[in-house]
Amino acid sequence: MTGHVYQLSANFELPLEDLEDYLDDPDLPPEVEDLEIDRRNRMLFIKAVAADDSLSKYTPTAQLKAKVEEKRIYEQDEEERQWARRNDEEEEISSELVEYASFSGDLETVLQNTAVRHPMFLLLRNIALLDVEGTLTAITADDEEDELQATRVVDGEARRAAVEVVEQSQANGNGNGNGGVDWRGNEYIN
């Protein structure tokens, strides 16, 4: 099964520890034999190792790219911290720094390279289902069904989605389709 990813928008993050636990034994599509995980500075790259031997070792396979960020997580909720500040309480609020993997951007930012791109999108979708806050939307097609499919994951839950085709010229209102000057209807030009 191969397929195509036509459009993708990701804006979600999850604790790096949760992602690493998932990647220890992920449910990989048949086209992906293994994953190579590489961390460079504040970036995390999850690269597909293709099961297809006909792909050259020089063919760049699809990879997921995430930014690694640290966030301070407090054991008290925000209301309790504000109440303590208002009442000038000087108690120490316990917290810890947690690293998060942030998948944010469009198709070429989050899911790079084209070889085995659709199977890596399926992995990205599974990762988005682990998230508790954020979104992933995409328009894809697999070669078996040859039909466009919409994907939407919101706060770790798959939601209904549909592909909608809209005619641009009607959306702009002026009928010329590009939002610019209608040269044919311009009274100052003969």
The mean pLDDT value for 47-68 works out to 91
- Domain count of the fold of the chain: 1
CA 113 from chain center: how many Å?
15
Residue 4 has pLDDT above 50, yes or no: yes
Give domain status of residue 138, yes or no: yes
Which structural domain range is residue 161 located in?
A: 3-74+94-175
Tens digits of residue pLDDT in 62-117:
999 999 999 988 776 667 666 666 666 666 677 889 999 999 999 999 999 999 99
186 occurs within a structural domain:
no
Close Cβ partners of 48 (under 8 Å, ≥ 6 residues apart): 31, 32, 35, 61, 62, 63, 115, 116, 119, 120
- Cα–Cα dist 153/134, whole Å: 8
Examine residue 35 and state whether it is found in any structural domain, yes or no. Answer: yes
Residue 190 lies in a domain: no
- If we measure between CA atoms, which residue out of 37, 38, 33, 36 comes closest to residue 55? 33
149 part of a folded domain: yes
Can you give the pLDDT at residue 115? 93
Domain membership flag for residue 183 = no
Residue 161 forms part of a structural domain: yes
- The whole-number pLDDT of residue 171 equals 46
| 82 within a domain of the structure (yes/no) | no
Angstrom distance (rounded) from CA 113 to CA 160: 28
Please give the backbone phi and psi of residue 105, each rounded to the nearest 5 degrees, phi first: 140, -165
Q: What pTM, to 2 d.p., does this model score?
A: 0.78
Average confidence (pLDDT) over 142-166:
89
Q: Read off the tokens for 80.
A: 């309790």
